[in-house]
Amino acid sequence: MSDQNGEEDLWAKVTKAVDDLYNLRDTYFPANPDEKVFVLQKESDLALNLLDSIPFEQRKLPMQRATYEYLRGKILDVIPDYRKEAEDHLSKAVKLNPSLADAWLCLGNSIWKKGDLLSAKNCLNLALSKGPNKKILCQLSMLERRMSQGAENQSELIEESIQHAKEAITLDVKDGHSWYNLGNACLTSFFVMGAWDHSKLLQSLKAYQNAEKDERMRSNPDLYFNCATVSPVNKYLENYERALSGFEAAASKDPSLNANEEVKKILSLLDKLDILLKANAKAKRLASLASSLTAVNWTSSYKMASVDLLSEGLNKATAILGKVLSFVKHDSGTPLYYLLCDSDQICFILSVYGIRNDAIREGDQLTLLEPNYRYVNFSWNGKCYQFKSVRVDFLEQVLVNGKGLPANQAVCTSIHAQHKP
């Protein structure tokens, strides 16, 4: 009986060493990525030595051999780059014991690294066939987002990704990683669909907020980075202060994410907006530009208003006129920003997604239907930012010189998807 307990203890020690190794992978983010690879290599060598300390007599039976091959392959696969040796050991494991779901999962990750995405998906589906598993569902969701890039059935794959992410949450509603994965899936869907589906953005933010409730996710810099991305880059939520805080938190946890560069981009944009607004607030040309705004034929479903009469949030059945004073160049690319003034000579910022940058030009008269209004007012590092902001959610809500934008002016915005197979 004591020999059996000793055998079990040794296998348990190896399993714990592997778990600790992957926890290190997911929580250790030094400034130099090469240092992380060095540390992982060192710790994986120690784990392999511990695995090989198991006597041959305790790993000669088929089930024992399968577990040995699985653990060896998983240890080898902890390094970011593809290793054929890892794939070979994992392949042996699933042949010896096809019911090892985690071995199929690890094999799928290994094959993903070498670029064979279809075979990787087959492995993950085989893993899932062994029974419901939130880790497998999340990994399958991530892989489907990766497969969607440039695919003809891109939208279909993204919807599959969202569905698998939701299935993972139903298995453990408190698991932060599953919520984080759903947030990524919804955020990707938002961009794939042309950045018009506001509901997907709100679903993404809600998922990230639920992920933050899990203490284990507080060491995940990607969560802070992506959650911050929802706020400023998408502009729809316009919570710049939260975005800046999120990027700074991501930078402190993983310098390789270049989150500090995102902070610089946001502050640079805000400074440009501040300078433009102050320069044009008392410009002599405002009066002539405002007076040049001409009334358009309104349908009975819309009422005309000025910016100061807008309510915070969505203004249904309302329209405003604005003259384009300038296009605001910035480093992020999307959304497009414009400085406008209304008929009362009030200057405001317009943010627009999903259109080409030559669709709206300086001097154009814009009619904005059902504008979403927000008064931005916050301080960062002692500087106060205050401005009136308007956005529109659909291409059809923008009339340029009294005419709607043609479909060929629309573009589909993309997102750089981070994944760790």
Are 22 and 153 in the same domain?
Answer: yes
CATH, residue 240: 1.25.40.10
Last-in-domain residue among 208, 235, 265: 265
**Same-domain check for residues 23 and 160:** yes
**pLDDT (tens digit, 9 = 90+) per residue, 380-408?**
999 999 999 998 877 778 888 877 765 54
Asked if the model's pLDDT at residue 350 lies above 50, the reply is yes
pLDDT at 143: 97
Helix axes 259-281, 240-253, angle to 10 degrees: 150
Question: How confident is the model over 367-371, as a mean pLDDT?
Answer: 91
Q: Taking a C-beta distance cutoff of 8 angstroms, is the pair 103, 91 a contact?
A: no
Look at the pTM and tell me if it is higher than 0.85: no
- Whether 66 contacts 96, CB under 8 Å: yes
CB 222 within 8 A of CB 216: no
Spatial distance between the Cα atoms of 277 and 350, rounded to a whole number of angstroms: 12
The per-residue pLDDT for 232 is: 39
- pLDDT, position 410: 45
Domain of residue 372, residue span:
280-409
Question: Phi/psi at 327 (nearest 5 deg)?
Answer: -95, 135
Angle at CA of residue 322, ends 319 and 326, nearest 5°? 145
- Per-residue pLDDT band for 73 (boundaries 50, 70, 90) equals very high
For residues 317-334, average pLDDT: 86
User: Is 347 inside a domain boundary?
Assistant: yes
pLDDT at 359: 84
Q: Give the total number of structural domains in the chain.
A: 2
Q: Determine contact, residues 385/240, Cβ cutoff 8 Å.
A: yes
261 and 342, same domain (yes or no): no
pLDDT digits (tens, 9 = 90+) for 5-43: 556 789 999 999 999 999 999 888 888 889 999 999 999
The Cα–Cα gap between 251 and 224 comes to 9
| pLDDT for the residue numbered 196 | 58
CA distances from 254 to 243, 246, 260, 339, 418 (A): 16, 12, 10, 35, 14
Give pLDDT, residue 122: 97
Domain presence at residue 416: no
For residue 112, what pLDDT is reported? 97
| pLDDT score of 236 more than 60 | no
* Average pLDDT along the chain: 85
Q: Which pLDDT score, from 0 to 100, does residue 234 have?
A: 40
> What's the burial of 383, exposed, middle or buried (CB within 10 Å: 0-12/13-18/19+)?
exposed
Structural domain ending residue among the three candidates 240, 265, 290: 265
Distances from the Cα of 401 to the Cα of 74, 303, 319, 338, 398, angstroms = 62, 18, 14, 15, 10
Confidence band, pLDDT 50/70/90 cuts, at residue 281: confident
Residue 415 counted as domain residue: no
* Residue 117 resides in a domain: yes
Do 362 and 258 share a structural domain?
Answer: no
Highest mean pLDDT among 67-76, 179-188, 366-375: 67-76
Q: How confident is the model at residue 157 (pLDDT cuts 50, 70, 90)?
A: very high
pLDDT over 50 at 295, yes or no:
yes
**Same domain? 25 vs 130:** yes
**Longest distance between any two alpha carbons in the chain, whole Å:** 95
Asked whether residue 208 falls in the same domain as residue 319, the answer is no
% of the chain exceeding 90 in pLDDT: 54
Examine the domain organization and report whether 168 and 72 are in the same domain.
yes
User: Locate tokens 């994992």: which residue?
Assistant: 90
CA atoms within 13 A on the CB side of 402: 6
Tell me, yes or no, whether 257 and 295 share the same domain: no
Could you tell me if 259 and 383 lie in one domain?
Answer: no
Is the residue at 417 inside a domain?
no
User: Of 214, 232, 265, which residue sits at a domain end?
Assistant: 265
Please report whether residue 421 resides in a domain. no
Domain-embedded: residue 271: no
The CA–CA distances, whole Å, from 275 to 241, 266, 374 equal 19, 14, 19
Residues 95 and 133 placed together within one structural domain of the fold: yes
**Same domain for 285 and 245?**
no
| 120 and 221 inside one domain | yes
Asked whether residue 419 is assigned to any structural domain, the reply reads: no
pLDDT value of position 235: 39
CATH code at position 306: 2.40.50.550
